[in-house]
A = this chain, B = another copy of it.
Amino acid sequence: MSGTEEGTLVAQWRDLVTCYNKVACDLDRELQDQHGLGMSEFEVLDRLIESGQEKVRMHELAEGMYLSQSAFSRTVARLERAGLVSRAMCMDDRRALFVTATEAGRARHTDARDTHRKVLAHHLG
């Protein structure tokens, strides 16, 4: 573990954090201002619709997401409160829930998608 290795490691980490925060803040602001969606809310909606499936189980949808279980649960709850998503019981396993995008949810996603991609392209392109 040489000093220079440490130095580049820290520098690398700082770049990562800075980059992340810039993009995340911008994304959050744009999505919120233009579409009333938080970054995580869009992310969930995006993954749900992108899956191609009508219904997706909570646990399956949460898989691969950066959020904690509780944060994810609340994000979906927010989406449901906003009428963009609906939750339905799963008969096969009554612990699980199915999440489905509503018409409003699909419409909102279509709108917001452009903003999302634009911000990403601006920062990462």
| Chain A interface residues (CB < 8 Å from chain B) | 1, 6, 9-10, 12-13, 16-21, 23-24, 64, 66, 117, 120-121, 124-125
- Report B-chain residues with C-beta under 8 Å of the C-beta of A10: 117, 120
Complex contact A9–B66 (CB within 8 A): no
Given contacts A13-B124, A125-B9, contact A18 B117 (CB under 8 A): no
Copies of this protein chain in the complex: 2
A9 contact from B12, B16, B17, B124, Cβ within 8 A: B124
- Report B-chain residues with C-beta under 8 Å of the C-beta of A19: 16
A12 contact from B17, B21, B124, Cβ within 8 A: B124
Complex contact B16–A20 (CB within 8 A): yes
4 more A-B contacts (CB under 8 A) besides A10-B120, A17-B24? Answer: A9-B125, A17-B66, A20-B20, A20-B66
In the complex, what distance in Å separates the CA atom of A45 from the CA atom of B110?
A: 44
- Report B-chain residues with C-beta under 8 Å of the C-beta of A12: 120, 124
